[in-house]
């Protein structure tokens, strides 16, 4: 039998303490997504640790949820009673552990149970019909792109990629130095209401790349030393296959011009996924053929968006088969956007390649989906580096980076779902700027944690 949720306390002035947004979010995560059970399943390979991996995972998860900027900033909180109760430590414990212990545990964590926290959260949200209505055309869209959170010219690990960059010294001389960096292919679920982290895949350095050994036959591959580091599209192909296997309800992939090629479209076709891909080079097929057919043609459709104050001219061309590396028909859509309040400015032009399920969309919907790809840049990458501090290297180790990213992304998803599904009027009260609204919510949770020294955080 589950224990009743603790009631809020009252301070001497009669105000309720601990009945705010943090308590509601913890209760929401544990009751709807079984967050406590998922965190308890996290294990690592340390021998007889004094602090279990599940407690370290919980501490890291709440570090992300509360947007604590670094492990140095986390250090004093590891001895605060309110934080110890929040992560589920025993009442007799005076301190959870040191941040060095947190780092060592992250380096040895098993990734499957850590990743399962986020994947189970999205799977439960889908079962709860959060994505039932889909978006444009009642479809579910995932944006794919590359992300480089940080780089260094001094510190590196076995999975660091390498490049040579030119650096100008104070005396004006230019030197070429070696720079180390990590890059990931990222999949983000994009929607009108919320953008959720789906999965990510690291780009591997040349020493770790699995490549086909010559003379072994096309079905036999071995680990041999590659000449170059792995490219973004190679990692993205691995990523989208895993995304499809994990989330079979995703319908369409949205990507930039790097993916406007036959092999990637063929991969999506084999998985039964549609595509909306940005096309930029008018000299490449099938856009070249579409531009030739559109020559001197009036727009096929004109749409005025009063809310966005835009006039959109649209051209549409279906069933193109001029891309030799792709055995299928491709639809091309072009949109020319003119601002109604700035008619003197040159219109911006978008061209898209469309395949699979996405071909049933109206041309203006295709353009709307293509423009929504910027969610992964603005809501995703920008917010993660500036607000979630993922440009800071918490622990420079391949396993630690993956473990920390998965825990932070699970916190990001929980915060997003909680805001849009449980606090529906909160955004209207705090303004229309989504980033500032979420930041205000995090500030409120930090204030609540500071006022909850006597609270028990078991909200099961």
Distance of CA 360 to the CA centre of its chain: 27
CB neighbours of 210 closer than 8 A, spacing ≥ 6?
Answer: 221, 223
Which phi and psi angles does 404 have, rounded to 5°? -65, -40
In angstroms, what CA-CA distances link 405 with 122, 124, 186, 385?
16, 20, 12, 12
In this prediction the pTM is: 0.88
- The 3-state DSSP class for residue 261 equals coil
What are the tens digits of pLDDT across the range 59-101? Answer: 999 999 999 999 999 999 999 999 999 999 988 899 999 999 9
Structural tokens at position 244: 């499809």
Q: Is the pLDDT of residue 174 over 60?
A: yes
Contact 430, 141 (CB under 8 A): no
Reported as a pLDDT band with limits 50, 70 and 90, residue 429 is low
Residue entry with tokens 């091309």: 332
Please state the rounded mean pLDDT for residues 131-150: 93
Reported as a pLDDT band with limits 50, 70 and 90, residue 224 is very low
Every domain of the chain and the residues it spans: 9-118+392-450, 140-384
H/E element, 303: strand 301-305
Distance of CA 197 to the CA centre of its chain: 3
What are the tens digits of pLDDT across the range 362-410? Answer: 999 999 999 999 999 988 999 999 989 999 999 999 999 999 999 999 9
Architecture of domain 140-384: Alpha-Beta Complex (3.90)
Which phi and psi angles does 289 have, rounded to 5°? -65, -40
Specify the pLDDT at position 70.
94
Give the span between the Cα atoms of 286 and 313, in whole angstroms: 20
Please state the rounded mean pLDDT for residues 31-59: 95
Of the two residues 394 and 433, the one the predictor is more confident about is 394
Which of 176, 132, 361 minimizes the C-alpha distance to 254?
361
């Amino acid at each position: 039998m589950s224990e009743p949720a603790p009631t809020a306390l009252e301070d001497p002035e009669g105000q309720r303490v601990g009945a705010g947004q943090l308590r509601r979010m913890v209760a929401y995560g544990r009751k709807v997504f079984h967050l406590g059970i998922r965190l308890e399943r996290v294990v690592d390979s340390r021998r007889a640790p004094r602090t279990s991996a599940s407690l370290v995972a919980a501490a890291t998860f709440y570090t992300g949820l509360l947007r604590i900027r670094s492990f140095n900033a986390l250090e004093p909180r590891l001895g605060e009673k309110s934080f110890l109760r929040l992560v589920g430590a025993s009442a007799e414990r005076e301190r959870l552990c040191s941040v060095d212990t947190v780092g060592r545990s992250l380096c040895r964590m098993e990734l499957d149970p850590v990743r399962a926290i986020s994947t189970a959260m999205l799977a439960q949200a889908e079962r709860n019909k959060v994505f039932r209505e889909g978006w444009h055309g009642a479809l579910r869209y995932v944006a794919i792109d590359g992300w480089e959170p940080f780089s260094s010219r001094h510190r590196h690990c076995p999975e660091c990629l390498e490049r040579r960059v030119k650096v100008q010294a104070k005396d004006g001389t230019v030197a070429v130095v070696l720079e180390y960096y990590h890059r990931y292919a990222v999949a983000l679920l994009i929607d009108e209401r919320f953008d959720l982290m789906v999965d990510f895949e690291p780009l591997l350095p040349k020493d770790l790349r699995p490549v086909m050994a010559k003379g072994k036959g096309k079905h036999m591959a071995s680990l041999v030393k590659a000449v170059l580091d792995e490219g973004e599209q190679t990692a993205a192909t691995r990523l989208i296959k895993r995304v499809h296997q994990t989330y079979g309800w995703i319908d369409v992939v949205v990507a930039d011009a790097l993916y406007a090629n036959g092999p990637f479209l063929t991969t999506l076709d084999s998985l039964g996924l549609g595509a909306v891909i940005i096309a930029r080079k008018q000299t490449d097929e099938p856009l070249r053929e579409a531009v030739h057919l559109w020559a001197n043609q009036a727009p096929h459709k004109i749409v005025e968006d009063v809310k966005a104050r835009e006039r959109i001219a649209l051209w549409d061309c279906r069933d193109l088969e001029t891309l030799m590396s792709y055995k299928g028909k491709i639809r091309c859509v072009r949109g020319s956007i003119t601002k109604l309040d700035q008619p003197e400015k040159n219109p911006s032009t978008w061209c898209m390649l469309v395949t699979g399920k996405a071909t049933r969309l109206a041309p203006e919907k295709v353009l709307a989906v293509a423009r929504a790809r910027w969610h992964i840049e603005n809501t995703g990458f920008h917010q993660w580096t500036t607000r979630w501090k993922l440009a800071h290297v918490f622990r420079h180790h391949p396993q630690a980076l993956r473990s920390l990213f998965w825990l932070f992304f699970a916190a990001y998803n929980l915060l997003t779902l909680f805001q849009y599904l449980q606090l529906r009027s909160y955004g209207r009260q705090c303004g229309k700027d989504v980033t500032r609204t979420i930041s205000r919510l995090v500030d409120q949770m930090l204030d609540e944690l500071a006022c909850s020294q006597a609270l028990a955080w078991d909200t099961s």
